[in-house]
């Protein structure tokens, strides 16, 4: 069986004023259909670049990405993307934002009244699912960050995309809101079974959500290791305290630390403490 | 701090000087009126103090009388009409041509490279200095004044509008792309609606410049209009009429500015909730 997303020897060079940055170097990865894959790694290791390449928003320097066997050559409606920030349309209400894709021609080609009914049914369903009913006529800037991300997710789901690409969608939310959003996205995942690629800084989030955690390393951006998450598909918050969970978290965190090239300089910290408190040294 | 919590509403001294703080609508109106009336009162005081010659500074009531006389005997409405017509025409032609060009410059890098340095260069050439050329090329008809207003506003407008277009967040565009939007749809459904509030603000600001160039154009090459009236009054040392002309232009500017602001609030309500 071929994978839903096949990434073959993907290379991406950024040219920044004469210096080349290898954001991706020989990345090979297969992602199966209906899988929830999370991408973690130190800052600058190319997570966003890889995700955007799958979405067709970034061209590879060499190599290939295939979706359903077809090479990706640009963005497409079957690969929806959810961004961290500023992607909602502030001039549209929540409901209009979610229905935005209905105003695009691609969805209007062979439109029938049944389609319209299904579409408005789906809008209502998504509004209900995301708990947006009380604010459906509000504008995005009247909503909290968590609510705004719900709208962004609902909008991305409106097209029934095969693939959902998410770049730190909850990165700007507080811990409690984030937990609620985790269970929400897992619920959506269980209902609609898209293939999800989810970028995050947060290892706990990556394990809790993912079937597989892909760890990338920087300079050059590459895949370092891949972990199967040893948890049942139905996730519950309490699982975060289970030994399997904490063990995997420890392992991934130490691996990220090892690959990031950034270490806490203990000696330097001690020196700082000593100079800050001259009395303590005596 | 404690006092603030107790009384609920802190006293104005504390409340007014909060950085980026808020004031009530009433307070705003009172202060705005004060800001407008205080210079008027100072002017009145100065004119009646006897320190300055009437020829240099007529009193407010004399200016009002002059405006009335101008209205009754000297075709004030005609002057206003022709000036407003020139400003609006020059400004509208600028806007209609600037928008598509700005849309292209703000969207495509090669076009930015092609046009932006050129526009910047022309922008710094003083529009006023073009007047002799315009008279040579276009003549001294209405079209000449409109052409000067056009030269004065168009290049600034293109650059500012291109910047407005460039400020549309990339994430808004990319989100639409991943929903399958075509180029035309991106422009029509994302870029333009997203930039509209900023574009309207740009129009508001450039409208002010259009008035400035109107006066310049009329000072040099006209026989009607508010600017021309000012020039003629200068020849006859009618200071009160100069004042009247300047004040009327200011008033029209203020009115147009306020209409733009009103339209902004009306058309883009989502920007005004918080
Ligand atoms: N448009 C660009 N131009 C130049 N360099 C870029 C560009 N985008 C990314 N890079 C560089 O490519 C590398 C990978 O960037 P990328 O954004 O993919 O990392 P990331 O893993 O998503 O980081 P973060 O966790 O901070 O979001 C970084 O070194 C970054 O500086
Ligand atoms: Mg990133």
Instruction: Tell me the pLDDT tens digit for each residue of A70-105.
Output: 998 889 888 999 998 878 999 999 999 999 988 887
In the predicted structure, residue A193 carries a pLDDT above the cut 70: yes
Instruction: Tell me the pLDDT tens digit for each residue of A8-28.
Output: 998 999 988 888 888 899 999
Helix or strand or coil: residue A75? coil
In the predicted structure, residue A108 carries a pLDDT above the cut 70: no
Q: What is the pLDDT along chain B (274 residues), one digit of tens a residue?
A: 444 445 556 666 667 888 888 888 899 999 999 998 999 999 999 988 888 888 888 999 999 999 999 998 888 899 999 999 999 999 999 999 999 999 999 999 999 999 999 998 988 888 788 888 888 888 878 888 899 899 999 999 999 999 999 999 999 999 999 998 999 999 999 999 999 999 999 999 999 999 988 888 887 777 889 989 988 888 888 899 999 999 999 998 889 999 999 999 999 998 987 6
Query: What letters, b where the CB count within 10 A reaches 16 and e where it falls short, cover A86-121?
Result: ebbbbbbbbbbbbbbbbbbeebeeeeeeeeeeebee
- Between the alpha carbon of residue A84 and those of residues A153, A170, A195, the distances in Å are 11, 7, 19
Ligand 1 atom having least distance to the Cα of A16: 4
Short-list A6, A69, A40, CA closest to A223: A40
Task: Give the model's pLDDT for residue B81.
Answer: 93
Tokens, residue A9: 């020897």
Residue nearest to atom 5 of ligand 1 (CA): A14
Q: Give the confidence band of A109 by pLDDT, cuts at 50, 70, 90.
A: low
**Is the CB of B193 less than 8 angstroms away from the CB of A159?**
no
For an interface test with A, which of B180, B183, B199 has the most A Cβ atoms less than 10 Å from its Cβ?
A: B180
* Ligand of minimum distance to the alpha carbon of A42: 1
Phi-psi region of B242 (alpha: psi -120 to 50; beta: other; left: phi over 0): alpha
Q: Verify whether ligand 1 is closer than 6 Å to residue A23 (CB atom).
A: yes
In the predicted structure, residue A2 carries a pLDDT above the cut 90: no
Per-position DSSP letters for A260-275, written without gaps between them = H-----HHHHHHHHHH
Task: Give the model's pLDDT for residue A17.
Answer: 82
Tokens, residue B229: 């009236």
Give chain A positions within 8 Å (CB) of B169.
Answer: 86-87
Query: What is the Cα–Cα distance from A272 to A196, expressed in whole angstroms?
Result: 45
Task: Give the model's pLDDT for residue B274.
Answer: 64
Short-list A94, A99, A93, CA closest to A118: A99
Tokens, residue A199: 């970028």
Q: Give the confidence band of A116 by pLDDT, cuts at 50, 70, 90.
A: low
Strand partners, A66: A6, A71
- Terminal Cα-to-Cα distance of chain B (whole angstroms): 24
Report the mean per-residue pLDDT for chain A: 87
Mean pLDDT over A205-217 rounds to 93
Hey, CA dihedral for A80, A82, A83, A87, is it positive or negative? positive
């Amino acid at each position: 069986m071929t994978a839903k997303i096949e990434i073959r020897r993907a290379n991406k060079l950024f040219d920044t004023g004469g210096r080349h940055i290898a954001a991706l170097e020989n990345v090979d990865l297969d992602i199966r259909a209906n899988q929830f894959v999370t991408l973690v790694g130190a800052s600058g290791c190319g997570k966003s670049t890889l995700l955007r390449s799958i979405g067709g928003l970034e061209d590879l320097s060499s190599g290939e990405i295939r979706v359903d066997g077809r090479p990706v050559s640009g963005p497409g409606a079957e690969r929806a993307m959810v961004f961290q920030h500023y992607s909602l349309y502030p001039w549209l209400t929540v409901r209009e934002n979610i229905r935005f894709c209905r105003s695009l021609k691609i969805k209007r080609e062979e439109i029938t009244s049944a389609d319209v009914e299904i579409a408005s049914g789906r809008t209502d369903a998504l509004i209900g699912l995301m708990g947006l009913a009380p604010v459906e006529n509000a504008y995005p800037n009247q909503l909290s960050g968590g609510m705004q991300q719900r709208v962004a997710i609902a909008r991305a789901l409106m097209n029934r995309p095969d693939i959902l690409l998410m770049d730190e969608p909850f990165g700007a939310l507080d811990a409690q809101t984030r937990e609620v959003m985790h269970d929400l996205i897992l619920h959506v995942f269980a209902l609609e079974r898209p293939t999800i690629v989810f970028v995050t800084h947060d290892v706990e989030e990556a394990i809790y959500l993912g079937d597989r955690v892909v760890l990338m390393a920087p300079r050059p951006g590459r895949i370092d290791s891949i972990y199967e998450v040893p948890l049942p598909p139905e996730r519950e918050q309490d699982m975060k305290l289970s030994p399997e969970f904490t063990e995997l978290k420890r392992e991934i965190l130490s691996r990220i630390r090892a690959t990031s090239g950034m270490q806490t300089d203990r000696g330097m910290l001690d020196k700082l403490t000593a100079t800050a408190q001259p009395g303590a040294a005596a | 701090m404690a006092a603030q919590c107790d009384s609920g509403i802190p006293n104005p001294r504390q409340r007014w000087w909060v950085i980026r703080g808020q004031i009530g609508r009433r307070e705003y109106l009172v202060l705005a009126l004060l800001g407008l009336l205080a210079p008027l009162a100072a002017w009145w005081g100065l004119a009646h103090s006897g320190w300055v010659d009437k020829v240099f500074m007529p009193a407010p009531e004399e200016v009002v009388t002059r405006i009335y006389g101008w209205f009754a005997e000297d075709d004030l409405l005609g002057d206003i009409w022709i000036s407003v017509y020139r400003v609006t025409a020059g400004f509208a032609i600028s806007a209609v041509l600037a928008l598509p060009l700005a849309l292209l410059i703000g969207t495509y890098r090669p076009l930015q490279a092609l046009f932006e340095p050129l526009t910047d260069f022309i922008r710094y050439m003083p529009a006023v200095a073009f007047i002799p050329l315009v008279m040579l090329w276009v003549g001294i008809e209405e079209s000449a004044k409109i052409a000067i207003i056009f030269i004065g506003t168009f290049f600034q407008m293109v650059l500012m509008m291109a910047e407005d277009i460039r400020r549309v967040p990339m994430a808004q565009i990319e989100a639409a792309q991943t929903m399958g939007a075509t180029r035309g749809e991106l422009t029509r459904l994302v870029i333009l609606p997203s930039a509209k509030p900023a574009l309207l603000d740009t129009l508001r600001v450039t409208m002010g410049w259009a008035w400035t160039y109107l006066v310049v154009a009329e000072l040099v090459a006209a026989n009607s209009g508010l600017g021309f009236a000012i020039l003629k009054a200068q020849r006859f040392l009618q200071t009160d009429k100069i004042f009247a002309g300047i004040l009327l232009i200011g008033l029209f500017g203020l009115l147009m500015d306020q209409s733009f602001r009103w339209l902004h609030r009306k058309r883009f309500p989502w920007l005004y909730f918080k």
